[in-house]
Structure 1
Amino acid sequence: MSNFGIAALQLSLEEADNLELLLLRIQKTKLRFPWVKMIVLSELALRGVGVQHARELPSPEEQAFCRTARELGIWLVPGSMYEKCGAHVFNTTPVINPDGEVVERYRKIYPFLPYEKGVSCGDRFVVFDVPEVGRFGLSICYDIWFPETVRALAWMGAEVILQPTKTDTIDRVDELSMIRANAIMNQCYIVGVNASGAQGVGRSMVAGPEGEIVHEASVEEEIIALELDLSRVRHVRERGMKGLGQVLKSFRDNPVRFPQYEDGARSEILDAMGPLAVPD
């Protein structure tokens, strides 16, 4: 089976405790679209911004999402939430299977610094398999500004990359170009789901393995329910984008060593830029 029903929920959310609202929207989505097998929410949908909301995981809220996933028999990626782990706080996305089990947790590798204050960087790329469907990878919001992160997921076999986002600023149009570019460069689907309302400016996007826009949402609340055809990813990777560039094969076969990734590498230009700080 290569077709897979997925719903990205672009919800109008307040900077508040949204747990009951999220659970209700998940249930209504599955009721309206019974063929949907996975539901994905936006970044920090649970409570919005603020490291004071951090909880150790598993938390009661995560367990509530697990119960809902089990009751509905769906894969659930409930956006992200602030996770307290010792002295650190991470921006973390759980992956819950249809049995209600947390099978993975991805910690955002690139917090939106210097604005996302008090949040530590994750250090592990995460992919997971949906049996008889394919391999999915996780990215959170600002991660996509760093193309190495998406390439790492593709290198690990990801055919669909889920990207919960919380963008409420004027750069959303720029992020849309990155979703398409990363999809075409890695010949995969990217599901970028943003919030609307107080938490975001909407304009979620699903892009396909040839960079095509499968769907671009408006700025209002929207349930994006569609089927992804993972056989297209395999076809494009094998034969090339529009029968042309076979990007991942070239990446695999070229022996080039990138100087910026050598052990101990430093850049005089980057070092001269000064500290990472909010502009005066």
Structure 2
Amino acid sequence: MTDSLSPETLQQIQRLDLRARMIVRGFLQGLHSSPHQGFSVQFSDHRRYDPGDDPKRIDWLAYAKTDKYYVKRYEAETNLTGYLVLDLSKSMGFTHRQSMTKFEYATCLAASLAYLMTMQQDPVGLMTFAEKLNAVLPARSRRGQVADCLAALSRLTPDGQTDIATCVTQVAAMLKQHTLIMLFSDLLGSPESTIASLAQLRHAGHDVIVFHILDEAEVHFPYHGQIEFEDPETGETVSVDADAFRADYIDQIEDFRREHERACHQLRIDYVPLDTSMPFDKALTEYLQQRQSRF
């Protein structure tokens, strides 16, 4: 199944709805033969205790089983509203060997999660950002919402510089009720500013998943000889000896990922590192394992 869900294979399919359906079908088929039976987390009628919740609602039986605090959810709380938040900056359009760009990868993954949420009858919406935040599609659970999401995703093109911190802060200010924020970005900005804005999302009571998407060349650095690199957002160029620079670069990119991973762990944010060579069923399974490990 993995080969059929590789970015190279899916790139041959032009329609986003067909790509997303293939990803979801392959992912769900894979779950039947794995220990992860189902998409929902444990205690579907509970949620984690957050400061400010009424202590009287703590389920002590759940605490005895898990050593973690949960509060019982009322019927109105059982449907979780989700927003797909996509980085639309020009750097997301990068690809090393004319394979799927970071943005195309993010779009396929976002479309798949939209399908999964609507299968659970959860409202899902869409936002994009580069230098500013764009509220593209309000979250709804009505019939046809997936089609609207996919149509909106299909019209998007990455362009412009990015201001992740400001835009994520705006998301935190816009959404008043408890929401699942699914952020898709290469996070190419100031880690300190990005992490501070993610902390605002958590302090506002939102659940957050960060899909950190890099091109496989950005992770593995398969270059040789004298190479000139250009920043796609600023146009600035730098020339380096790739062979001499490789070890330092790989150390730096690993540190970059680890910094975000550590911060997300401290904030109880799910951090999913991906590159554009990873099959989509594996990407979704990585996400599911992260979610279940927190319960």
The bucket for the TM-score relative to the shorter chain is 0.3 to 0.5
* Structure having the higher Rg: 2
Query: Between Structure 1 and Structure 2, which shows a larger proportion of strand residues?
Result: 1
Could you tell me the TM-score, scaled by structure 1's length? 0.40
Structure 1 or 2: more helix by fraction: 2
